Structure 1
Amino acid sequence: MSTLSRRATVALPLALPALLLARAARAAVVLPERITQGALVTGRADPGTRLTFEGKAVRVAPNGVFAFGLGRDAGAQAALGIVSPDGRREEHGFAVAPRQWSIQRLNGLPGRMVTPDAEALARIRAEQERLNAARRTDTAIPHFAEGFAWPAEGPISGVYGSQRILNGEPRAPHLGLDIAVPVGTPLRAAAGGRVTLAEDLYFTGNTMLIEHGHGVTTLYAHMSRLDLREGESVPRGGVIGLSGATGRVTGPHLHLGLFWLSTSVDPRLVLP
């Protein structure tokens, strides 16, 4: 972890680089040493510190824990806005490591699934508004800080960031992790939290969103059964329903998404 702190209460080894020593005069904010595109970044700050990232407020827990997300196409440099408990303002810039993305081609899909008709498009737009509202949920308890667990075990059939070409037409990047499990496999909450959406959607079929505090949300798609309703709480590892093949799929699997507010990040980076 890299540390930015103005409190020098512990003697630093002489071998530490000058950059780290220079950082000692800045506000106390701890970030990972290496941050990549698509990362959910977790860190710690002095209690009472206020943070912003890309114009969005970053909630800081009473113990200083916080999280924010970097999208798939994040640039090489980013910055975290910091307001210290004493009111001093500064900006901490950091490097963002690039990643390579794979290309997947799927052919022979029914035309109505590749290019939805007008009625389906209206449904898709309305559902997207509900998804956006659910992803804006930002509650105070940082369940995400307890860590994440696999919701199911199986072969990885799709990765975050890959671009799919459907019947020869390039589509938006795949922003989730696909786990190939048979229909009826019990699915478990990757972390504790509260259900913010549980319904049947056009693209993702039976879908559940669980918010884990501070705007960190997981999405579980293509389920055959939803066992929880909106507003219900669930602990990490609690059963939330069964896997399936609902919505737009070519076979049974769980699509696992991870978000910080409206930013989609890579679930694989937080899983053990």
Structure 2
Amino acid sequence: MKLIFGVIAFLITSIHAYADNDLGMPDTLKQGGYYVGKINPKDKVTFHGKRVKVSEDGYFVIGLGWKYKSQANIRVDHMAGGHTMYHIPVKEHDYDVEEISGLPSKYVAPPKAVQERIAKDAADVRRVRTIDSDLQNFRDDMIWPVKGRISGRFGNHRILNGEPRSPHTGLDIAPGQGALIVAPLGGKVTLVSDQYLTGNTMVIDHGHGISSVYAHMEKAIAKEGQMVAKGDPIGTVGMSGRATGPHLHWGMNWYGERLNAGIALGIE
């Protein structure tokens, strides 16, 4: 009799091995997007073989790289036993090519004298992108950090002074020198730094690996270690670092993955 009940239990859990998307996510995801889901707080989420942080009330977030494959596979292990696999389609994005000319040669092919500084700058940003805080600001609706002409889009292949470079990792907004930048989501400022390539740079942690980057600022207003609310002033637009004109380079991350902020704002 115990064997029979065991087989029945196995069949019941197996029925739920492949399920429709009831996580609260869209039925189709996009390359470069981040998505918030909700489960039983006592269940566990695995994405690409790694455990995903779940809040006390069951919320979690995943992020997709700019060339993510065609399907996101999310596994939920249930406290009561068994697991559910969610297979959510991912829409490909067509990326353009951007040609940028007029950059000082020292920024396109930096001299050896500054390469050590560039390496340290990059390491500082990588370090704060690994922060895995319990903040819940990633669940909020995002607002624009500043409004203006979109001068560069996420994922586009870049040619700088005629030399091919890696894809663009953010959204460039050009409202004019000195325009006020506000926090699109609340969080904690984890880095304020004058960097060689990105100039006056700031990183804000929004929780569960979601962070945002603000580069080429004229000046920072928020301080490192400060908690900011959505809409709080954090800096002003400038052209510090490698830039041909005043603009904000705005990036989003999920740990090591670069994300497209435009998706959260509905423009991509």
For normalisation by structure 1, the TM-score amounts to 0.87
Aligned-residue CA RMSD in angstroms? 2.0
Structure 1 residue 108 corresponds to structure 2 residue 114:
no
Amino acid across the alignment from 1:111: S
> Residue type of the partner of 1:77?
Q
In the superposition, relative to structure 1, how do residues 25 and 177 fare at CA in structure 2: closer, same or farther (>3 Å)?
closer
Aligned with 1:152: secondary structure? coil
Q: Deviations over 1:3-33 (max 9, x none)?
A: xxxxxxxxxxxxxxxxxx9789789634211
3-state DSSP of counterpart to 2:85: strand
Alignment of 1:27-176 (within 5 A): 29-176=23-170
* Residues 210 and 105 (structure 1), Cα distance of their counterparts in 2 relative to 1, 3 Å cut: same
Verify: 1:187 aligned to 2:148, yes or no: no
The match for 2:5 is none
Contact 2:220 2:235 in 1 (8 A): yes
Question: Where does 1:174-213 land on structure 2 (aligned, <5 Å)?
Answer: 174-213=168-207
1:220 is matched with 214
Contact 1:198–1:229 (CA under 8 A) maintained in structure 2:
yes
**Cα deviation 1:51-75 (Å, max 9, x = unaligned):** 1222443211122221110000111
CA pair 25-218 structure 1, distance change in 2 beyond 3 A: closer
**Aligned partners of 1:212, 1:119: CA distance in 2, in Å?**
35
Measured in 1, the distance between the counterparts of 2:23 and 2:199 equals 41
Stretches of structure 2 lacking an aligned partner (at least 5 in a row)? 1-14
SS of equivalent residue, structure 1 residue 224: strand
Aligned residues of 1:61 and 1:141 also touching (Cα < 8 A): no
**After superposition, what is the alpha-carbon deviation per residue over 1:198-254, rounded to whole angstroms, capped at 9, x for unaligned?**
111111110111111111101111111111222110000000111111010010001
Structure 1 letter corresponding to 2:34: L
Within 1, Cα distance between the matches of 2:20 and 2:241?
Answer: 50
**Cα distance, 1:56–1:222 mapped onto 2, change above 3 Å:** farther
How far, CA to CA, are the matches of 2:113 and 2:93 in structure 1?
38
Distance 2:74 2:21 in 1: 12
Partners of 2:102 and 2:244 within 8 A in 1: no
* Distance change in 2, residues 1:260/1:201 (3 Å): same
For 2:33 and 2:65, the matched residues in 1 are separated by 7
Per mean C-alpha deviation after superposition, the further-off stretch among 21-30 and 41-50 is 21-30
Does the aligned pair in 1 maintain the 2:27–2:88 contact within 8 Å?
no
